């Protein structure tokens, strides 16, 4: 960071990282495989799946199996040493030891919040993240502030300092003031109590739909602005850096989350270095993503948050908050909170995930993804810092891209866009539902108002021949709140399911018969046919298809 307030330089300028170290190949000769060997074996699988032809070169597997993140970063299917040519992967900052198991406590009902907080602490939680607490004396009654750090969010910091006057506070305590509102006075008060005062909360842009790169870039811009504010007010860079922690979202995309948190430390260390700091530490709080949750089949949220918590721990988060699986419905119950805190306990105490510092370090694919994500974020940070970025517009583009991928089910959401259960009973919870817009909101809106008329599923041929397409069509329709029936004449919309050969032989005749029996709209499960009004197959824009079908049913 230069004197005139803009970011200059890059991530790899001299003096930033330690020299590379050598590696030792311990594989026996019979266990050594070349890249060409992998290409041959992978190509054989893709040819069997008809994703490649016999004429395609084996090397095409890289294109076929690679995918791109929402930041446009190519994620290759195989990590190789060649990925790290010119990349320094040693000397990265990270967490060591167990992470802080941080429970979220809603302070709007202070008495209930106190009961939840004490139950969580008895259950092994090591810190509390308290939001919207007006009555701190009631909310924190019985909480040993010298043993359990309290991180405020949306609460009056002065009220907390008054409440805690004369009491020893744990060093992990944070007044939780947004970094944009940081003042030297609050910073000095926190210094006197030996606690932190400020938070750069990147989940604010994540919840709006930002990509990982945008979340990181925004946080670095907010962090740099915070450093300027406090250093101009008389604090040193090291003093300012010691008063702030960063909060990021952890999603069920395991490797991108690991890379994001590792890249965050890499980026902040670079900002501190360019700012002249002596120390490069970063305190990092990871929270399982709110928009990744689903209201339908909410039990899958347990799996999502488990993967997210694992990735957060592996990625080096100092504190991890697992939001309860029933958070989308309102205030989580005791069962949801217990499952949430036990997720971290199982990962730490039984899976021993925290016993190795930076367990993903040195993995070619993870190191490459970390480096690529850091580069994307640094570029966004630079444009935000000099005022040339329109982050709102860029986030809107990412949201639209994610919506397209969800609509075509190339980004599936289990229990919502895939394998939906129309007969499930959803949990009932007190309080207002989480207002954040979830990634599957468009499908949830359809499920909220299920179609009152089912689709007639007409199958052709033996069960073994039509099961695959009949199941596909049934699940697709259910994702839009549409049930199916096998009763002829029960619906103006009919979906025909069978094999291509059966369609060629019987399709036109069957469609004509269905229309004479009252069908007004005929759908074919598979590629389009002249005798059908619509079709559904892999890759279809599910939202468009479901809305068309619902309009015909109504």
Given a cut of 90, whether residue 367 has pLDDT beyond it is: yes
Res 129: pLDDT: 98
The top-scoring range by mean pLDDT among 14-18, 28-32, 230-234 is 230-234
Best mean pLDDT range from 4-18, 73-87, 440-454? 440-454
Rg value, the chain, Cα? 27
Q: 498 by DSSP, 3-state: which?
A: coil
* 121 band by pLDDT with thresholds 50, 70 and 90: very high
pLDDT number for residue 92: 73
Domains and CATH numbers, the chain: 34-84 (no CATH), 100-385 (3.20.20.240), 445-553 (3.40.50.280)
pLDDT at site 53: 95
How many residues are there in the chain?
554
pLDDT higher than 90, residue 57: yes
| 531 and 504 Cβ atoms separated by less than 8 Å | no
Each residue of 188-201: pLDDT tens digit?
Answer: 999 999 999 999 99
pLDDT number for residue 14: 39
- Mean pLDDT throughout 12-33? 57
**Encoded tokens for 301:** 């949220």
* pLDDT classification of 497: cutoffs 50, 70, 90: very high
Report the greatest alpha carbon distance in the chain: 86
- 29 pLDDT tier (thresholds 50, 70, 90): confident
pLDDT digits (tens, 9 = 90+) for 458-476: 999 999 999 999 999 999 9
Lowest pLDDT segment from 75-84, 156-165, 344-353: 75-84
Region 211-238: mean pLDDT is: 98
Of 206, 496, 498, 220, the residue nearest 323 (C-alpha): 206
Q: pLDDT confidence of 24, banded at 50, 70, 90?
A: low
- pLDDT on residue 7: 58
| Residues 69-120: tens digit of each pLDDT | 999 999 989 888 888 888 876 667 788 899 999 999 999 999 999 999 999 9
From CA 407, how far away is CA 545, in angstroms rounded?
A: 10
Residue 222 has pLDDT above 70, yes or no: yes
Per-residue pLDDT, averaged over 361-376, amounts to 94
Q: Which two tokens stand for residue 410?
A: 């190339």
Predicted confidence (pLDDT) per residue in 81-94, tens digit:
888 888 876 667 78
pLDDT of residue 17: 35
Which residue would you say has higher pLDDT here, 81 or 268?
268
* Helix residue spans in 316-363 (DSSP H): 334-345
pLDDT for residue 263 is more than 50: yes
pLDDT in the model for residue 290:
98
pLDDT tens for 285-320 read 999 999 999 999 999 999 999 999 999 999 999 999
Q: What confidence category does residue 149 fall into, taking pLDDT thresholds of 50, 70 and 90?
A: very high
What pLDDT sits at residue 31?
76
What is the C-alpha to C-alpha distance for residues 358 and 316, in angstroms, rounded to an integer? 6
Write out pLDDT tens, residues 372-398: 999 999 999 999 999 999 999 999 999
- pLDDT of 18 reads 39
pLDDT at 2: 42
For residue 260, give both structure tokens. Answer: 């994001």
Residue spans of beta strands (DSSP E) within 361-492: 455-459, 484-485
pLDDT of amino acid 177: 98
Kindly state the helix (H) or strand (E) to which residue 175 belongs, with its residue range: strand 174-178
pLDDT of 518 reads 93
């Amino acid at each position: 960071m230069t004197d005139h307030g803009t970011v200059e330089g890059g991530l790899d300028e001299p003096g930033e990282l330690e020299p590379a170290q050598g590696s030792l190949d311990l594989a026996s000769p019979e266990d050594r495989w070349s890249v060409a060997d992998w290409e041959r074996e992978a190509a054989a699988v893709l040819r069997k799946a008809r994703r490649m032809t016999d004429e395609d070169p084996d090397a095409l597997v890289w294109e076929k199996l690679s995918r791109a993140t929402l930041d446009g970063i190519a994620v290759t299917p195989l990590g190789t040493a060649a990925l790290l040519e010119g990349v320094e992967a040693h000397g990265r900052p990270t967490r060591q030891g167990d992470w802080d198991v941080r429970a979220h406590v809603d302070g709007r009902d202070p008495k209930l919040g106190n009961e939840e907080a004490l139950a969580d602490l008895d259950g092994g939680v090591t810190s509390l993240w308290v939001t919207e607490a007006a009555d701190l004396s009631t909310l924190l009654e019985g909480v040993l502030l010298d043993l359990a750090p309290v991180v405020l969010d949306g609460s009056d910091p002065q009220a907390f300092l008054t409440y805690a006057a004369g009491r020893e506070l744990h060093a992990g305590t944070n007044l939780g003031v947004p970094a944009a509102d940081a003042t030297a006075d609050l910073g000095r008060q926190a210094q006197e109590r030996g606690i932190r005062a400020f938070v750069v909360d990147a989940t604010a842009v994540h919840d709006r739909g930002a990509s990982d790169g945008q979340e990181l870039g925004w946080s670095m811009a907010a962090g740099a602005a915070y450093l300027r504010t406090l250093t101009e007010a008389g604090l040193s860079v090291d003093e300012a850096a010691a008063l702030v922690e960063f909060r990021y979202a952890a999603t069920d995309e395991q490797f991108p989350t690991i890379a994001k948190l590792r890249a965050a430390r890499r980026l902040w260390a670079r900002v501190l270095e360019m700012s002249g700091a002596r120390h490069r530490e970063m305190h990092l709080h990871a929270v399982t993503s709110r928009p990744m949750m689903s209201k339908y089949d909410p039990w899958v949220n347990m799996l999502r948050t488990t993967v997210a918590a694992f990735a957060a721990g592996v990625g080096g988060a100092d504190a991890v908050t697992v939001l309860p699986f029933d958070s989308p419905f309102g205030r989580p119950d005791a069962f949801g909170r217990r499952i949430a805190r036990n997720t971290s306990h199982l990962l730490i105490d039984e899976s021993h995930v925290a016993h190795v510092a930076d367990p993903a370090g040195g993995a070619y694919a993870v190191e490459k993804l970390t480096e690529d994500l850091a580069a994307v974020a640094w570029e966004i940070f630079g444009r935000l810092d000099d005022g040339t970025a329109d982050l709102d517009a860029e986030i809107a583009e990412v949201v639209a891209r994610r919506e397209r991928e969800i609509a075509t089910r190339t980004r599936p959401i289990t229990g919502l866009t895939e394998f939906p259960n129309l007969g499930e009973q959803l949990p009932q919870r007190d309080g207002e539902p989480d207002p954040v817009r979830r990634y599957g909101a468009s499908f949830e809106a359809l499920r909220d108002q299920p179609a009152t008329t089912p689709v007639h599923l007409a199958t052709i041929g033996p069960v073994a021949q039509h099961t695959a397409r009949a199941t596909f069509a049934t699940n697709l329709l259910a994702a839009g709140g549409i049930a199916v029936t096998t009763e002829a004449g029960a619906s103006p919309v009919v979906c025909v399911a069978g094999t291509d050969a059966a369609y060629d032989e019987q399709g036109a005749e069957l469609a004509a018969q269905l229309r004479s029996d009252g069908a007004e709209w005929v759908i074919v499960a598979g590629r389009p046919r002249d005798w059908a009004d619509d079709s559904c197959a892999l890759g279809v824009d599910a939202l468009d298809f479901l809305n068309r079908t619902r309009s015909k049913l109504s």
